[in-house]
A and B are shown apart, each in its own frame.
Chain A
Amino acid sequence: MAERLFTSVIWLSTALVVAMLLWILGDLAYQGMPHLSLNFLLSEPMSAGRSGGIGPILVSTLLIIAVTLLSALPLGLAAAIWLAEFTNRGSAVGNGVRLCLDVLAGIPSIVFGLFGNAFFSIFLGLGFSILSGGLTLACMILPVFIRTCEIGVSSVNDAWRKGAAALGMTRSAAVWHILLPAASPAIVAGLILGIGRATAETAALIFTSGYVDRMPGSLLDSGRALAVHIYDLSMNVTGGDPAAHASALVLLVLIMLLNLLAQGLSDRWLQRRLSV
C-alpha cells in the first residue's frame, strides 16, 4: 500500500512538471500564433509595439549575440586551452583562475547590468549601445563557456597527447590538430549554453543596450533585444500581450535555431579537421 502511494507521488510530481511545461508552451503557441506572420518578423514596430513587427529588434538581438560570441569565443577558448593544457593540474595559478571564474559565474545578471552600465556605457563611453550590451553578456557567459571547454579539452585521452609528442609535434600543434577537434563536442555544448543564456538575457541588457526599437545603424547605436521587447510589451504597454506572446515564440525558435547552427558548424569543422 505504502509502496503504491510512494510510486504514485513520484509519477504525479513528474506529470505535474510535464503539465506545467505544456501549459506554458501551449499558452505561448495559442496566444502568439495568430499574431505571427512573415510581416511581423520583418516590419518595424508601431505604436510602442502593439502593432507592426519586430524587424529592427531581431537585427539588434542578432547583433548583440554576434558581439557576445565574437568576444567571448576566442577569449574563452584561449583561456580554456591554457587552463587545460599549459598549467599543471592543481597548480596555484590555475586554481586561482578557476576560483575567479566560479565567482564570476555566481554573480546575478542584474548585477552584470549594473557593471555594464558603469563600465562599458559610462566609463568607456560606449553609451547605451549594442556594443555595451554584447560585451556585458560576454563577461556573463565566459565562465560557463570556459568551464565546459576546459573539461572537454582535458578529458581527451592522454594516449593522443603522447602519440602527438612521439611524432615530434609541439604542444601547440597537438592542441590545434588533435585536442581541439577531439574536444569540439564539448566546445559546442559550451557555445550552446552561452548562446542560450545570452539570447534569453533581459536584466543585464536593460541598462546597457537600452530600449530603442529603431533599426540600429551601427554597433554604437542603442538596440532593443527581443527579451527586453517582451518585458516592455508585457509590463509597460497596455494591449501589448499578443505581440509579447508572438515575440516570445520567436525568441524560443531563435534559441533553437542558433543551437542547430552551432551544432552544424562544429560538425563541419570536425570533419574537415579530422580528414586533413
Chain B
Amino acid sequence: MSKRNSLFQWNLDRLVVPPLAVAALICVAILLLVLAFLVYEASPVLVDGGWRVFLSDTGWYPLEGLFGLIPMLWASLVLMLGAVIIAAPIGLACAIFIKFYAPASLNKVFRLILSLLAGMPSVVLGLWGLTELVPLIAKWQPPGASLFAAILVLALMVLPTVALTSASALSAVREDLLAGAAALGIGRKAQVLGLVLPAARYGIWSGILLAMARAIGETMVVLMVAGNVVQYPHGLFEPVRALTANIALEMAYATDNHRAGLFASGLMLTLIVLVLAWAASRIVGRNQHG
C-alpha cells in the first residue's frame, strides 16, 4: 500500500522500519546474551565432563571442592510439587467460584483480590511467612523455617496463576453444553465436575504447569522461609535449601569454580523452567486443535 503514496511519504516508511526491526533484533540478542553468559561463566565446571560432579559428589561443600547439587535439586522439586498440590485444588475452586457460584457483585471484587495477590511482591510474602507463619509452625514443630512453611507460602504465591488461567479456561467452554446439561436436569455440581472440568482440562493443566514454573523459579520466598540447610528433604518440618536460594546466598563470595558451579545451577534451573513452560504451551495448543 505504501507504494501508492508520494515519494516523501514512501521514504518515511523506509526510514522508520529499520530501527523498529533493530529493536526487535536487540530483544533476540538479549536472550542470546543471557544464554551465552550463563554457559560461558559455567564453562569451567562443564568442560571435560566436569558436570558429572554435580551428580556424583556427596554434598555441597564448595570451599572443599564438592559440588553435589542433587540434595538442593530434590528440595526445589519437592517445594514445587508441594506448593502446586496445595494451590491447584484451591485455585481451581476459586476459578469455579468465579465462573459458576459468585454473585455478580462479588465476582469483580474477588477477581481484584486475586490480582492483588498475584501482584504481591514475593519479598513481602516472604516477610509475612518469616514473621507470622514460621513462629506459628515453630510452636508446633520446631524449628519452624522448613519445607512445610515454604510450601505454604509458595502455594499462596502461585494460587492466583492457577485460579486466573483456569477461570479463562472455564470461560472458553461452550455455553450450549451447559444449557443442554441444565435442560436435562443435571445439577450444578455434576455440570462442573462431569462436563466443564473435562472440557477445560487442557487449559487447567497448562495453568498448573505455569504455576510449577513460577514456584521452582522463585527465590525470595524459599530463601526467607525454607531454612536454607543443604540436605535431602527427609521430613515436612526439616529445613531445606532450594537451588535458587543457594545462588542468592553464595554469589556474594563465590569465586572460580564455586562461581561457575552457581552459574551451572542457574543454567539447570532455566532448563527446568523452560521445559515446564514449553509443556504448558504445547498443552494449550492441543486444546485449540480439538
Query: What is A's interface to B at a CB cutoff of 8 Å?
Result: 2-3, 6-7, 9-11, 13-14, 16-18, 20-21, 23-24, 27-28, 31, 74-76, 78-79, 81-83, 86, 96-97, 100-115, 117-119, 123, 139, 142-143, 146, 165, 168-173, 196, 199-203, 206-207, 227, 230-231, 234-235, 241, 244-245, 248, 251-252, 255
Contact = CB atoms under 8 A, between A and B. Distances in A.
B38 interface: yes
Given A20-B156, A107-B34, A234-B131, 5 more contacts: A2-B189, A75-B27, A100-B27, A114-B38, A202-B122
Main SS of the interface on chain B?
Answer: helix
A119 B112 CA distance: 38
With most chain B CB atoms within 10 A of its CB, the pick from A21, A115, A207 is A115
Contacts of A119: 33, 37
B137 interface: no
Contacts of A115: 33-34, 37-38
A75 B219 contact: no
Contacts of B123: 200, 202, 227, 230-231, 248, 251
Nearest to A82: B20
Interface residues of B, number: 88
B61 interface: no
Interface string B3-42: 0111001101101110111111111101101100110110
B41 A114 contact: yes
A7 B93 CA distance: 10
Contact of A3 (B6, B117, B188): B188
Contact of A78 (B1, B4, B23): B23
Contact of B248 (A74, A106, A203): A203
B114 A17 contact: yes
B70 interface: no
List the 7 shortest-distance A-B pairs measured between CB atoms, nearest first: A108-B217, A200-B121, A13-B93, A78-B23, A82-B20, A203-B219, A172-B16
Nearest to B159: A17
Contacts of B60: none
B93 to A, nearest CB: 3
Given A114-B262, A170-B2, A196-B119, A97 B28 contact: yes
A201 to B, nearest CB: 8
Nearest to B117: A21
A79 B122 contact: no
Nearest to B163: A17
Given A165-B1, A206-B251, A101 B27 contact: yes
A254 to B, nearest CB: 10
Contacts of B171: none
B219 A108 contact: yes
B119 A111 contact: no
B34 A170 contact: no
A199 B119 CA distance: 10
B55 interface: no
Contacts of A106: 213, 217, 270, 273-274, 277
A200 B219 CA distance: 12
Interface string B250-290: 01100000000011001101100110010001000000000
Interface of B: 1-2, 4-6, 9-10, 12-13, 15-17, 19-28, 30-31, 33-34, 37-38, 40-41, 89-90, 93-94, 96-97, 100-102, 110, 113-114, 116-117, 119-128, 130-132, 156, 159, 163, 187-189, 192-193, 213, 216-220, 223-224, 244, 247-248, 251-252, 262-263, 266-267, 269-270, 273-274, 277, 281
A251 B131 contact: no
A10 B31 CA distance: 42
Given A86-B17, A106-B274, A231 B27 contact: no
A138 B213 CA distance: 21
Contacts of A24: 120, 124-125, 128
Contacts of B24: 78-79, 82-83, 97
Contacts of B17: 82, 86, 172
Contacts of B189: 2-3, 6-7
A271 B23 CA distance: 28
Contacts of A108: 216-219, 244, 266, 269-270, 273
A123 B4 CA distance: 48
22 contacts: A2-B189, A6-B188, A14-B110, A17-B114, A18-B113, A24-B120, A27-B132, A79-B20, A82-B23, A96-B28, A100-B27, A110-B266, A111-B38, A114-B41, A114-B263, A114-B266, A139-B30, A143-B27, A170-B9, A173-B9, A207-B252, A252-B121
A230 B223 CA distance: 13
A117 B254 CA distance: 12
Nearest to B269: A108
A103 B274 contact: yes
Contacts of A241: 131
Contacts of B219: 108-110, 202-203
Nearest to A176: B16
Contact of A11 (B97, B130, B262, B273): B97
B160 to A, nearest CB: 9
A203 to B, nearest CB: 4
